[in-house]
Amino acid sequence: MKVCEELCIGTLVSTIKFNFMKIAVIGTGYVGLVTGISLAILGHKVICVGRNKDKIQKINKGIAPFHEPGLDNLMRKVLSKKIFRATDNFKEALFDTEIIIIAVGTPTVKNKIDLSAIKKVSRQIGEELKRNEKYQIVVIKSTVVPTTTEKVVKTIIEKYSGKKAGDFGLCMSPEFLREGNAVSDATNPDRIVIGQYDERSGKQLAKVYSKVLCPKIFTNLATAEMTKYAANALLATLISYSNEIARICEGVHGVDVVDVWKGVHLDSRLSPKIDNKIITPGIVSYILSGCGYGGSCFPKDTKALAAYAKEIGVKAELINSVININRTQPAQMVFLLKQALGDLKNKKIAVLGLTFKPNTDDLRESPSILVVKLLLKEGVVVVCHDPIASFNRTELKNMDIAFTKTAKEALKSADGVLIMTAWDEYKKLTPAIFEKQMRNPVVIDGRRIYNKSSFLNSGIAYKGIGYSG
């Protein structure tokens, strides 16, 4: 098996003649739908395959099954051009396609990656390839631990297709989508990683992106798989490091981690100066303290990476520390609340923000959910608000909590408030609003979105991650 190890700038490969391709994307979740729409925007004819008929109908009507800024508009655009649609017919979707992208979920179960969906889809693809003599390329877009594409996907497809890799193409091309920024990330990627089984596979997949002007990295399958984990683990590590520094600051009177990071961020290696103007790269936003990371990627991917490292005999001490810090970080919110209020039993506490970050409706692994559970254990009367999150989600079932339509309603007569998500509408809440709505206002700022001086000068008890007063 010959593998090409090279870095090609997008402008170089853009000279490849662009041909519209027929592409099937298996998965109508976050990665599958965003990927499918972004490929249709490039001009390809794309079919997304899913199992949920209601979701399929919504997608075909131009209604995204989850909140992502800008996604509905793009979806309606490609639907109107008849270059994108969704179906639950697996055979129809794969028939006569040139590229088959696997974008199904890979959750963690008991801290290990669950490949059941990957295995099922690989078998179905193998059965369809057996009926088709056309050369088709199977691309893994799902996040999988190193060697999965080679040892699991390839093996299953070969078994059920009766073909050998080479008769069909095989690539692993990880996604780098940020929830809340996924449309921009998918349509304007900063790099495309193509892990290839052989050069024919890689070159054919590269044609899909021939109009995209960004660096394209060609490597082997396992390296592509590892690149995704390394990227997510790095960002998660920066967050947990920031939160450990915050805990130290909380133990030192008068020290505020926000001021600490102002001094750190101005290091020219983090924020270079160009033409006397300071440039602040996006990665600096991960060196900020808060109540922990959540969502569909960082929690599951760090756990899966740690478990994989253990399987191959590597002690991933740093990654395990990152996981442990994040697991316990939400409890710091309750700790700061107790510092201010003492016994929490029967106290009314408002929780503002349930999603793990703004501009998404995702509650998966959200620090807010753990905080609510901790408050309920303390006998607290919990009132929640979130601008977007649906309150009938499974993450919130069987919780004795109340919900309000507005943030002000949640604050009414509350003894304390925890700011859990940095939604723009929460940033507009002034000290006067907290004073008017709450009993004796105690504000615990988990995202450090407020100017503490304005609160303290108003006589409000204010604490936040990295600042205990």
Query: Whole-model pTM?
Result: 0.92
CB distance 284 to 350 below 8 Å:
no
DSSP 103-168: -----EETTEE--HHHHHHHHHHHHHHHT--S--EEEE-S---TTHIIIIIHHHHHHHHS--BTTB
Domains and CATH numbers, the chain: 16-187 (3.40.50.720), 259-464 (3.40.50.720)
Q: Report the alpha-carbon angle 438-444-448, nearest 5.
A: 125
DSSP conformational letter for 467: B
Could you tell me the two tokens for 324? Answer: 């442990």
Cα separation, 123 vs 429, whole angstroms: 53
State the DSSP H helix or E strand holding residue 92, giving kind and residue range, or none if neither.
helix 90-94
Residue 394 has a pLDDT of 81
| Residue type present at position 456 | L
CB distance 120 to 160 below 8 Å:
no
Which sequence positions are flagged as catalytic? 297
Strands (E), 147-272: 169-172, 192-196, 216-219
Paired with 171 in beta bridges are 139, 196
Residue 5 has a pLDDT of 35
Residue 14 has a pLDDT of 37
Could you tell me the two tokens for 169? Answer: 């193409």
pLDDT per residue, tens digit, the chain (469 aa), is 333 333 333 333 333 455 799 999 999 999 999 999 999 999 999 999 999 999 999 999 999 999 999 999 999 999 999 999 999 999 999 988 999 999 999 999 988 999 999 999 999 999 999 988 899 999 999 999 999 999 999 999 999 999 999 999 999 999 999 999 999 999 999 999 999 999 999 999 999 999 999 999 999 999 999 999 999 999 999 999 999 999 999 999 999 999 999 999 999 999 999 999 999 999 999 999 999 999 999 999 999 999 999 999 999 999 999 999 999 999 999 999 999 999 999 999 999 999 999 999 999 999 999 999 999 999 999 999 999 988 778 888 889 999 999 999 999 999 999 999 999 999 999 999 999 999 989 999 999 999 999 999 999 999 999 999 8
Strands (E), 313-369: 348-352
Cα separation, 258 vs 235, whole angstroms: 19
Cα separation, 187 vs 172, whole angstroms: 19
Backbone φ and ψ of 268, nearest 5°: -65, -20
375, 394, 443 from 403: Cα distances, Å: 15, 15, 19
Nearest to 192 by CA among 47, 8, 29: 8
Q: How many helices (H) and strands (E) does the chain have?
A: 20, 19
Residue 391 has a pLDDT of 79
391 exposure class (CB count in 10 Å sphere: 0-12, 13-18, 19+): middle
CB distance 67 to 360 below 8 Å:
yes
Residue 18 has a pLDDT of 54
97, 110, 191, 427 from 46: Cα distances, Å: 9, 35, 22, 40
Nearest to 59 by CA among 39, 42, 41, 74: 74
